[in-house]
């Protein structure tokens, strides 16, 4: 069954090629397609295109389909082209001609658009929850290990004293900025394209404001041409927000791989969280972090992939856009899995104590010694020159105590302030409004 089928079928090879993985991707959208249809038919009844009785019958059957999807009992039949055709077929089998009325005043174009936006909105919410849990772990570990000093590096050369408190806390604060970009992506996604039809509107007197309210969208994509042009752009913006989180995780994973290396030896993990070698009995490999790094680097490529796949497309719908789904949709699960695995590893991390007591790290404290001279009245440039000369003459002396008190330093991490920043961003998401609207729609 195809919604667009006329009297001649496409060549089989054309059909196979053009469908591609779309049926597989449609299963991501199944529940959201039903939600969009529930809002659409309520609007159709409000403008006189359905009777109250027809609306009631359609609502009952659509809610049955929705429950099947949630239970994992819904299937896309082999001879049915896509999710939209499958839902309409089920309604027509149950209700006859009433089922055929559901497509009035819309196109598959805006149907796919609203499905994708509802899906992305839901996935972003789930991602926010996953990130929040990981953020809390990072902050907890930051406080737990705030007094454990760690070498700081620039150019991968010894630089200045750092701490595990700073290290964990840095990645927590990185997630705050990542969350800002997720909120921006959510705001782009949280606009209703339904009613734009094929991208040029409809001659039916539809009420797009009503479907916006019913689906819990914050606003409309008003211009019907832009509603279609927004496809590809919305996916790219979402992909960039995922890439930002992935970048944070990839960098953290690289650090963990280095710090576990015997030449660093700053951290370790229980043996069951590492892997071994088939011939080297001593090996404890950081495979989890290596895979997180690689998966996240794949996700970092997503915005560029989407940008290139939509390069030079004019306004209006184009089949190129179909392929974006198979790149973007699975990325959410991949990223959430990476976050959860990083959480498992860092929950069980073992941090070495007194790392900086080793004489090889003594030059980390050169700046501390310069600052001591400055505090005693020596001009900074002279203090810098003296300590440098002492190092060259092998006369450098130092202590391993540090006293950093300014905001965000070793002795003043700003944990509470960073947490407040994240909580403020999360509170700005309209999750409760969306939940209330969807609950009402399917109840």
- 18 pLDDT above the threshold of 50: yes
CATH of span 109-148+163-192+225-354+421-429: 1.20.200.10
Q: Which whole number is the average pLDDT over 15-34?
A: 82
Q: Return the pLDDT at 165.
A: 98
Q: Which of the residue ranges 11-20, 67-76, 407-416 would you say has the lowest mean pLDDT?
A: 11-20
Q: Return the pLDDT at 10.
A: 57
109-148+163-192+225-354+421-429 and 12-103 share a CATH fold: no
Q: Which of the residue ranges 11-15, 58-62, 279-283, 320-324 would you say has the lowest mean pLDDT?
A: 11-15
Output the DSSP codes for 392-435: HTT-----S-----STTBTTB--HHHHHHHHHHHHHTS-HHHHH
Predicted confidence band of residue 46 (pLDDT cuts 50, 70, 90): very high
Report the distance separating Cα 368 and Cα 399, nearest Å. Answer: 9
- 19 pLDDT above the threshold of 80: no
Q: Which two tokens stand for residue 203?
A: 């001659």
Q: Return the pLDDT at 24.
A: 77
Predicted confidence band of residue 79 (pLDDT cuts 50, 70, 90): confident
In tens, the pLDDT along 247-291 reads 999 999 999 999 999 999 999 999 999 887 778 878 888 999 999
Q: Which two tokens stand for residue 437?
A: 């609207």
Specify whether the CB–CB gap between 76 and 23 falls below 8 A: yes
Q: Return the pLDDT at 7.
A: 52
In tens, the pLDDT along 107-148 reads 989 999 999 999 999 999 999 999 999 999 999 999 999 999
Q: Return the pLDDT at 11.
A: 75
- 223 pLDDT above the threshold of 80: yes
The 3-state DSSP class for residue 112 equals: helix
Report the distance separating Cα 96 and Cα 45, nearest Å. Answer: 18
Residue 266's Cβ-count burial label (10 Å; 0-12, 13-18, 19+) is buried
| Domain regions of the chain by residue span | 12-103, 109-148+163-192+225-354+421-429
Residue the block writes with tokens 């997630």 = 175
- 5 pLDDT above the threshold of 70: no
- 171 pLDDT above the threshold of 90: yes
Q: Which two tokens stand for residue 176?
A: 């705050």
Predicted confidence band of residue 350 (pLDDT cuts 50, 70, 90): very high
Report the distance separating Cα 298 and Cα 146, nearest Å. Answer: 33
Domain 12-103 -> CATH class: mainly alpha
**Strand 157-163 with 191-192, pairing:** unpaired
Report the distance separating Cα 398 and Cα 414, nearest Å. Answer: 28
- 2 pLDDT above the threshold of 60: no
In tens, the pLDDT along 355-393 reads 999 999 999 999 999 999 999 999 999 999 999 999 999
Report the distance separating Cα 182 and Cα 160, nearest Å. Answer: 33
Dihedral of CA atoms 2, 62, 231, 223 in degrees, nearest 10, equals: 110
Q: Return the pLDDT at 281.
A: 79
Report the distance separating Cα 408 and Cα 406, nearest Å. Answer: 6
Phi/psi at 301 (5° precision): -80, -15
In tens, the pLDDT along 392-441 reads 999 999 999 999 999 999 999 999 999 999 999 999 999 999 999 999 99
- 4 pLDDT above the threshold of 50: no
């Amino acid at each position: 069954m195809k919604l667009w089928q006329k009297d001649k079928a496409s060549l089989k090879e054309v059909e196979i090629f053009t469908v591609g993985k779309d049926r597989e991707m449609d299963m991501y959208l199944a529940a959201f397609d039903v939600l969009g249809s529930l809002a659409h038919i309520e609007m159709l009844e409000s403008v006189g295109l359905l009777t109250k009785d027809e609306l009631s019958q359609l609502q009952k059957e659509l809610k049955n389909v929705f429950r099947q999807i949630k239970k994992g009992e819904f299937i896309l039949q082999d001879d049915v082209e896509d999710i939209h055709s499958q839902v309409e077929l089920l309604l027509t089998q149950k209700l006859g001609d009433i089922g055929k009325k559901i497509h009035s005043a819309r196109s598959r174009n805006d149907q796919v658009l609203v499905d994708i936006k509802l899906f992305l909105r839901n996935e972003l919410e789930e991602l926010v929850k996953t990130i929040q849990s990981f953020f809390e772990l990072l902050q907890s570990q930051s406080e737990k290990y705030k007094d454990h000093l760690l070498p700081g590096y620039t150019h991968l050369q010894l630089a200045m004293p750092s701490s595990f408190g700073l290290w964990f806390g840095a990645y927590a604060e990185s997630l705050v900025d990542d969350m800002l970009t997720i909120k921006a992506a959510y705001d782009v996604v949280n606009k209703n394209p339904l009613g734009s039809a094929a991208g040029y509107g409809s001659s039916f007197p539809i009420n797009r404001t009503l479907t916006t309210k019913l689906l819990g969208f914050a606003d409309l994509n008003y211009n019907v041409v832009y509603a279609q042009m927004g496809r590809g752009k919305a996916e790219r913006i979402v992909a960039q927000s995922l890439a930002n989180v992935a970048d944070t995780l990839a960098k953290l994973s690289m650090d963990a791989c280095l710090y576990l290396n015997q030449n660093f030896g700053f951290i370790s993990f229980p043996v069951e969280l590492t892997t071994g070698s088939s011939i080297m009995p001593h090996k404890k490999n950081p495979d989890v972090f290596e895979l997180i790094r690689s998966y996240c680097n794949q996700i970092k490529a997503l915005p560029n992939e989407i940008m290139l796949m939509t390069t030079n497309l004019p306004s209006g719908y184009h089949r190129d856009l179909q392929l974006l789904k198979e790149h973007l949709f699975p990325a959410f699960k991949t990223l959430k899995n990476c976050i959860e695995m990083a959480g498992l590893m860092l929950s069980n991390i073992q941090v070495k104590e007194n790392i900086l007591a080793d004489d090889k790290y003594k030059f980390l404290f050169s700046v501390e010694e310069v600052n001591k001279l400055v505090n005693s009245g020596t001009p900074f440039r002279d203090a810098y020159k003296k300590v440098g000369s002492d190092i060259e003459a092998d006369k450098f002396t130092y202590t391993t105590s540090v006293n950093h008190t300014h905001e965000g330093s070793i002795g003043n991490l700003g944990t509470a302030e960073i947490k407040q920043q994240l909580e403020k961003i999360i509170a700005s998401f309209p999750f409760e409004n969306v939940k209330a609207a969807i609950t009402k729609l399917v109840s």
